[in-house]
Structures are given as C-alpha cells and as structure tokens.
Structure 1
C-alpha cells in the first residue's frame, strides 16, 4: 500500500508520519483538521487478501470498531472515528504521547519491581473493562502498551482483538494461531478456545519480562517457543532477582499456569493481589514517566464489574400504550442501517410493555424476545443475551419437549454465550449435553450443526488443557465429515491444520 504524507482522509484527517506498517495496513500520525488535534490513523487494505477473506476482514473491522468503542476506560486508547475511503478502511484513534513499554524497559535495567507492579495493576484495570464487553485482546505485549508522560499506562492495539464469536477459536489462513508466540497462552497456541484467562497468561509473561529482563520462554523458531509454553515450567523470578517479593513471584507463576483453571479467576482478582504490593502513597519513585505516580488508585476496576449485567432499559410507563408494531418497524430500519446498539435499547424497552399488553407467552412477545436475544448476540452483549436464551429454551421445551429443534437451538446459542464469556468448562458441559440430540438426528441439515458442536467441544478441550481428548474428538470429527461430505469440505482442511499443529507441538 503506497500512501503519501500530506494525504487527507475523508477531507478531514491529514496524514503526517508513518509510525507502523504490516502486511495489510499502516499506522500514521495525523492531524484532525476539524478539531485541530493530533490523532493516529490506521489504514487497512482488504483487497490485499483474496476473495471471501477480504469480505471477512471488512466485517471484522466494522465489528471491531463498534465493539471497541463500547469500552469506556482511561487506560484504553480512544476510538474517534471509522469508515472507508475507496478500497481502504480507516480507524481514527487517540494519539498517545509517551514511550512504549518495551522501550521503557530497555531504558531502565533492571526495571524497579515497584514499577512492574504499577504497570501490571493498571493493565488489570484495562483488562477488567475489556473483558466485561466481552473482548479478549489476544495480543497483549510491551509494544502494545504505552507509558504516558503522567505515568499512566494506555493499551493500544486491539487490531487482533476480537469479540468472542464463532471464529475467534479458529486458526488463520496460514495455519497459525493469532498472536505473538512469546506472549501466547498454551490454549491459544493450540488453536483452542480463548477467553479472559488467555490475556491473564500474557500479563504473566509481560510481568516476568519486566522483572527478569526477558520473556520466560524464547527460542529460534515460533514452534520451539510454543513448545516451551506448553511443556516447560517458567523460571521463578526470585532466582534472578532475590529482592522481588515472594507474593509477586507467586502471582507471576500462577498467571503462567498451563491450565487456565489454575490462573486467577479474573483481572479484578489479579488487581486485588497486586494492591498490597503497590508503592506507599506519597512516596515518589523518581525518574521520568514513573508508572507508580498515578497510584492513588484512580483506575481500579469496579468490583465484580465483569459479572454484573448491564442495566436493562426502562419499560414504557403503564399510562402510555406502547406502539409495538411501530417499535418493530423502527428496529428493522435501524438493523438495516447497522445501528444495532440502538435497536437493542428499543427492543429491551418495549418487551415489558408488550408482555403487559399481550401476555408473557403471546406470539408477539415471543417474537420480540427472539429478536432481542438475536440482536444482543449480534451486538456482542452475551451477558444480557444468556438469560434471554435460557428463558426461550425452557419455554419452548416445556411446550414441545427437550428434543424440540428450536429449544435445542436456543440452548446451543446459550452455550456460545458461555464460551464467549470465558467460561469454557460450563460451555463444554452444555455442548456435551446437546450433542446426543443432534447425533440422534444425524441426517441432512442436522449433520452440519452436529459437526459444529463437536468442533467446539474439541477446541474447548484444548482450552482446558486436555489435548489427548481434544485430539481424539477432532480426529473422529474429521473422519465423519470426510465420510459424509467428502475430503473437499472446508472443515476437513481446518481440522487437518489443527491436528497437524497439535502433532508438531507435541513432537
């Protein structure tokens, strides 16, 4: 992609200096001519990727921009604008003035352990907000973290971060997992299901690097690095720096657990464990860009924020007769324009009034509830979608039986929510409970859904560290898909890559 300095994007953003470049895009400093401020502009060229993958990149880009814009936290770079111009997609972000954490570490060797604690605590606050959406960053590393002039830490690129939807667990078209090998959790390395626990492992790698001066696992090849992540224990940092507190070493080792279930439950819990290790208030550590300076605890995450459902929209007052038909038409218009968040609010607001007017079990209310759940899913609001889907599944099963296809579909989508909310054990249990129903209907259209449930089971087993069971599940699935759909089916190739990757790393 050839882009010149001085070019103006959409008549507003004047490109100034190229500060980053990759295979499909560039990042520039730029000037917002309308508001007279410096910004950062990311440019992507989907046409650099062939065919359907270009459409997928565009879809991901729009979704990333919309969902990232929902995260409100001072430690995350702010999204100002997004759109397209010609063949290019653009994302306009806050310009962050400071040093990236990799350079900051290089300039301060050894890195004060109090600084490492302060950086990690601020990152926990950011991750708590990000995971509440839910988003998994999937590429947390020092180059994606800036230390600003006032000592506060800002997380930059959510470029490979993704809402936890159906394709986040799949390998890329090159057959490799997304992310940076040195910071990659074992489940991510194996192409398994990712979740908040994946970012916590990367945080452990980053903390180990700040405290010891190097990542815990390195090597001459990406495969060698990933093999060490999977099978070697990390070196305790106190062997290199005895002045590091024992509690801090223990936390780093816990974050670096191979099994996600042995890591802290959340970024919130990790923050609380770091809190006693933070520098005493009012005692400056000295030096420029001191990351201990902000700690009067202004950026602490809200307690249990990630587990608290978003507030429901208020119901229409009883005195007003709701215009249900008009609301449905408005929702259709908004969805057609891609204004999903606004459509969600209207649906959530009209549901209680419609139930009062027509009855909770009326066809109109059931239709609205289905639309509400589907729109919440599309908007990435899985925490709010989950109880709606469970309600729909139970209601349908009570009428038509547990094996009713529509009830099973609602349960399947509820399992997706659990997976995307970073609850792999609960999601795995639900998928396993569903599988016999689909295998008993192992014909025609039901076969594809059966295949997908089995694929998800395999990836969740990888995420939970049971690689032998995952290998067996995926190998059997590959055999059945090839027998029923032929060797050219896309799922056969995808599973082959996963099994090959699994075999290489195990070898």
Structure 2
C-alpha cells in the first residue's frame, strides 16, 4: 500500500514527514487534527506476512498495544491511540523533540564516558518499569532511544515488544526473531526464550558502542554478526579508550556475557553499579541534549530562562529546506485553510518551513516574505510559542523602523507584541522597559498617538511594577491612569472598573 504525505489516518492523523521505515512498516510525523498537536504515527503492514501469520500479528499487535499503554514511566514514549485501517495497523505516539542516540553519538565523538553512564542509568530506570509488567523490549538500540532537549532519555518502539507469556516468544512464525542483529543477545539470535536478561545484553552492546564508537560485533551479513555474538568475546573498551573507568568496563563485559546467568540479575542491579559513576550534584553546562543534566540538577525546571536552547527545526521545516522548488502559493493557501480549521500547530510548522524557500525565490525583503513573516509571528503567538515569536517580532520591528522611522505605527505594533511576549515569558523587567520606551509614541498625538493603546500600555506598566514589588510606583501609575480613563471614557468603562479594583486591593496591602 502506497503511503504519502498528507494522507489522513483514522480520519484524524495527517501524515507529514517520513522519519523511518523497515520491512514491515513506516514511522511518520503527523498532526492530530482533533487536538492540534504533533504526534508520531507508526504504520505496520501485516500483509507483508503471509496467511494465518498476518492474523496472528494483528491479534498480538492489539494485545501488546493494550499492555504497553499501561506502562507508566516518564522515560517511555506515551501511546495515544492504536487501531487498524484497511490492511494496515497504526500506532499513534507522543512526538519527542530531541535527537536519537545514534545521531547524538555521531555528533559527539568520542562520546564522554560520563554521558554514556548517564544514558545507561536512565535506560535502567525505563527497563526496570518495562520488565515489571512484564514486557521485554527486544529491540533496544540507539535508534530507539531519544535524548530530549533537557537531557532526559525516552525509549521508543515498545510496539514490537513481546508480552512475556509462553505463547508469545515470537510475533511471527517465520523463523526470523524480532530485533536488530548488532544488538541481539545469543539466546534471541537462536530463537530461544527471551527475558529481561535479553534487554540487558542489548544495553551492554549500546554501552560498548557509546564508549568505543562501534558495536562489539559487526559484519557484512546478519548471520555473520549473529555468529560473532554466539562465539566471540567482546574487546574490552579500555583497550580502545583507557580513560574509561575500570568498573565501567567490567560492567559492560558482564552485560555482554553469552550465558544469561552470568549477566547482572536485573536492571536495578545495573543501575546500582552505574550510580557510583554518576556525576555529583552541580551546575550543568546549559547546553541542550546533555544526558548528565538530570543527575546534576534532579527535577530542575527546563529550560532555564537564561539559557534557552534555540528551537529545533520541525520535520516540516527540514522537508521544505530539502525540497527543490517548494510551492509557496500552495503553502500559503494550506496555511489559510488550517488556520480556518483552528489547526494552529500545523500552520506554524508550514509557515516556518516555507519562509526560507520564499526568501530564496522572492528575496529576503520582498513583500511576500514580509507578509509571511508577519503571519508566522502572529501564528506563533496564537499557538503560545512566545519564545519563538519574540525574535521574529523584533526582526520585523527593526526592519520596519529602518524603512519608515522609529515612530512608524507598524514598527511600534511589533514592539508592543514583543513586549507582550516578554510579559508572557515571565520576564517583567524586560517587558517593563519595552513598554516604557513605547509609551511616549502612543501618547504623542503628532507621532503615533493612540489613546486606547496608551491606556493599555500604562495598565501593563502598573501591573509589571506590582510584579516587581514596587507598590508605590504601581499605585501612582494606576491612579493617574484611572483619572484619564474616567475623563476620556467615563467612570463606567470596564477598564476604569478594573483599575479601581486593583487600587482597592493595593490600598489594603500597601502597609
């Protein structure tokens, strides 16, 4: 069955970008049209398996979705929905913003051993929860592990996990075990019974790869790799990287034992060994995707306001950047349609994706690009993405002021909205400074005089002064504003009533 971007699964999930595929299925980023959020959709095709085996796969898929959805752990991707459509099975999961561990390793070579320990410790916590169900993941590998922006680790693809019953040692009867050869335990390679010890072996392979830069057993064919798992000892990692602690090398070798009985007894036991190697409490670097951060500052908020990481491009952005000649006009029409349906998140991604293409086609300062950038900033604000909207608004304000002067009403409007972003982001001092710099323009009738906006800015200044603890200045600002509002709009105006309530409360607490 052909799958294409734009297809809607189950009348709700619009496929966007293909991010992975294998022999039996594909994984897409998608948009949930009902809740206007990004999701990941996995499509499985049992029709690739013949006869009764396809029916068996369907039954076990549904059963396993029910069971895995019950596993409650922050390190597991959340399952939102599951079902079938035509010949396909679909699984809808949480969209995870980060980098998979394979890419993370490629970008940091050599991978700090402290990071490897932090990743493995987090994986132990996840595996412990999974094994308690009991479920065996069966396919733990770097591509199935995501490092999020805050350094926490999320495990993907429990959809291929097998419930630990006697009749579910395999999903199919084809003789091909579930899993990836490079990470496959000997007992799994031989089609034997799997258990928590099987995932611990895969954890050992993963740790060896992080520490040495390569899996312990590689080869040109799957059978060759499996043969090495069965019969060859792994190379100790300290021969490749002498700085790795001896205790960590010993743990990796125990995890890679051929006999399950010689491996650690549980993920809990592995964690106890790793805990001794974890970093002590301290101050993180502030960089995103640092897996030691959860241990340096456990449960600390993320992102730190002073160290906000740059937003990662959404998959739609990456797709548009790679496209040869994106259709800007069609994308604009699509954005209008989505906004009309209230699907703001999807509209934001399309606008962000089409902007570089539009700038290349029409010029960075063209009316087309300027209009798109305005729409992008406005849509980001509607979507509550104030941190991403702020630099867009500042850029628009600066460009407009350079063309038409500092008092240009449109430039002032962008600055006003930027101040609103600062206010919403909890940065009262910066917002107060911006509003104060705007106020003279709105009060000057010969420049950009706007009494209503001037009153609103003064109200916001008063409230920000309250937030900053300056009650005297807040009272003075709001009392003068009340007099002006009553004079221009009448004592019964809603703004006057609101200011009176604030002043009444302020009068009660000033002392």
TM-score, length-normalised on structure 2? Answer: 0.57
Q: Distance in 1 between matches of 2:325 and 2:26?
A: 53
CA distance in 1: counterparts of 2:173 and 2:504, whole angstroms: 14
CA contact (8 A) 1:164 1:421 kept: no
Asked whether the equivalents of residues 254 and 262 of structure 1 are also in contact (C-alpha less than 8 Å), the reply is: yes
Deviates more, 1:332-341 or 1:266-275: 332-341
Name 1:201's counterpart in structure 2: 201
Conservation of the 8 A alpha-carbon contact between 2:82 and 2:91: yes
How far apart, in 1, do the equivalents of 2:455 and 2:191 lie? 17
Between 465-474 and 229-238, report the one with greater CA deviation. Answer: 465-474
| CA distance 1:417–1:79, shift in 2 (3 Å) | farther
Deviations 1:201-239 (A, max 9, x none): 000000000000011111122222112111111111111
SS of residue matched to 1:277: coil
Deviates more, 1:351-360 or 1:98-107: 351-360
Distance 1:454 1:187 in 2: 72
Q: How much does 1:34 deviate?
A: 1.4
Change (3 A) 1:423 1:127: farther
Contact 1:135–1:163 (CA<8 Å) still a contact in 2?
A: yes
Change (3 A) 1:481 1:40: farther
Q: CA deviation at 1:455?
A: 79
Q: 2:319 aligns with which of 306, 315, 328?
A: 315
Aligned pairs, number: 506
Contact preservation (8 Å) 1:46, 1:54:
yes
Is the Cα–Cα contact under 8 Å of residues 259 and 464 in structure 1 kept in the other structure? no
Deviations 1:429-470, CA, capped at 9 Å, x for gaps: 999999999999999999999999999999999999999999
Please list the CA deviations of residues 326-361 of structure 1 after superposition, one character each: whole Å capped at 9, or x if unmatched: 999999999999999999999999999999999999
Q: Mean Cα displacement is larger for which, 319-328 or 220-229?
A: 319-328
| Contact 1:191–1:462, Cα closer than 8 Å, also in 2 | no
Please give the alpha-carbon distance, in whole angstroms, between the structure 1 residues aligned to 2:222 and 2:504.
Answer: 15
| Bigger mean CA deviation after superposition, 88-97 or 201-210 | 88-97
Q: 1:270 to 1:93 in 2, by over 3 A?
A: same
Hey, what does 1:354 align to over in structure 2?
358
The answer as to whether partners of 2:29 and 2:41 remain within 8 angstroms in 1 is: yes
Task: Report the counterpart of residue 241 of structure 2 in structure 1.
Answer: 241
Moved more, 154-163 or 19-28: 19-28
Q: Deviations over 1:277-304 (max 9, x none)?
A: 0112114356431110111585999999
More relative contact order in 1 or in 2 (CA 8 Å, sep 6+)? 1
> Quick one: structure 1 residues 465 and 6, their matched pair in 2 at CA, closer, same or farther if it must change by over 3 Å?
same
User: Residue 142 of structure 1: CA displacement?
Assistant: 0.5
Provide closer, same or farther for how the CA distance between residues 498 and 9 of structure 1 changes in structure 2, counting only shifts above 3 A: farther
In 1, are the aligned partners of 2:374 and 2:396 still within 8 Å (CA)?
Answer: yes
Aligned-partner Cα distance in 1 for 2:226–2:290: 33
Distance in 1, matches of 2:266 and 2:149, equals 29
Which sits farther off after the overlay, 210-219 or 487-496? 487-496
Report how far residue 4 of structure 1 moved. 2.3
Structure 1 residue 98, shift from structure 2 partner: 0.8
| Deviation of the 1:168 alpha carbon | 3.6
Relative distance call for 1:496 and 1:176 in structure 2 (3 A) is farther
Q: CA contact under 8 A between 1:373 and 1:385: conserved in structure 2?
A: yes
What is the deviation of 1:192?
1.0
Instruction: Specify whether residues 332 and 148 from structure 1 end up closer, same or farther in structure 2 by C-alpha distance, changes over 3 A only.
Output: closer
Distance in 1 separating the partners of 2:70 and 2:251: 30
Task: Tell me: CA distance 1:227–1:171, structure 2 relative to 1, closer, same or farther (3 Å).
Answer: farther
Tell me: CA distance 1:427–1:135, structure 2 relative to 1, closer, same or farther (3 Å): farther
Stretches (4+) displaced over 6 A: 299-312, 314-507
Structure 1 residue 90: Cα displacement: 1.3
Residues of 2 paired with 1:253 and 1:480: CA distance?
78
Distance 2:409 2:323 in 1: 39
Looking at structure 1, the residues matched to 504 and 224 of structure 2 have their Cα atoms a distance apart, in angstroms, of 15
**Alpha carbons of structure 1 residues 52 and 263: separation in structure 2 relative to 1, 3 Å:** same
Q: Which moved more, 1:104-113 or 1:285-294?
A: 285-294
The worse-fitting range, judged by mean Cα deviation, of 242-251 and 225-234 is 225-234
CA distance in 1, matches of 2:503, 2:232: 21
Task: State the distance in 2 between where 1:227 and 1:445 align.
Answer: 80
Tell which deviates more after alignment, 414-423 or 191-200.
Answer: 414-423
1:179 positional shift = 1.2
Distance 1:211 1:315, change over 3 A: closer
- Unaligned runs of at least 5 residues, structure 1: none
Deviation at 1:87, TM superposition (A): 2.7
**CA separation of 1:286 and 1:369: change in aligned 2, threshold 3 A:** closer
Deviation at 1:154, TM superposition (A): 0.6
Residue 255 of structure 1 deviates from its aligned partner by 0.6
**Deviation larger for 261-270 or 458-467:** 458-467
Q: 1:454 aligns with which of 453, 458, 469?
A: 458
**Structure 2: runs of 5+ lacking an equivalent:** 313-317
The 1:411–1:291 alpha-carbon spacing in structure 2 relative to 1, beyond 3 Å, is closer
Distance 1:364 1:143, change over 3 A: closer
Cα distance change of structure 1 residues 172 and 323 upon mapping to structure 2, 3 Å threshold? same
8 Å Cα contact 2:150-2:302 kept in structure 1: no
Say if 2:162 and 2:169, in contact at 8 Å, map to a contact too. Answer: no
For the structure 1 residues 166 and 337, does the alpha-carbon distance in structure 2 shift closer, same or farther, using more than 3 Å as the test? farther
SS of 2:319's partner is: coil
- Cα deviations across residues 99-150 of structure 1 (Å, max 9, x unaligned)? 1101100110000000000000000000000000000001100011011111
Cα contact 1:260–1:463 (8 A) shared by 2: no
Q: Judge conservation of contact 1:196–1:422 (CA < 8 Å) in 2.
A: no
Question: Contact 2:65 / 2:159 at 8 angstroms: preserved in 1?
Answer: no
Paired with 2:295 and 2:370, the residues of 1 have a C-alpha distance of 50
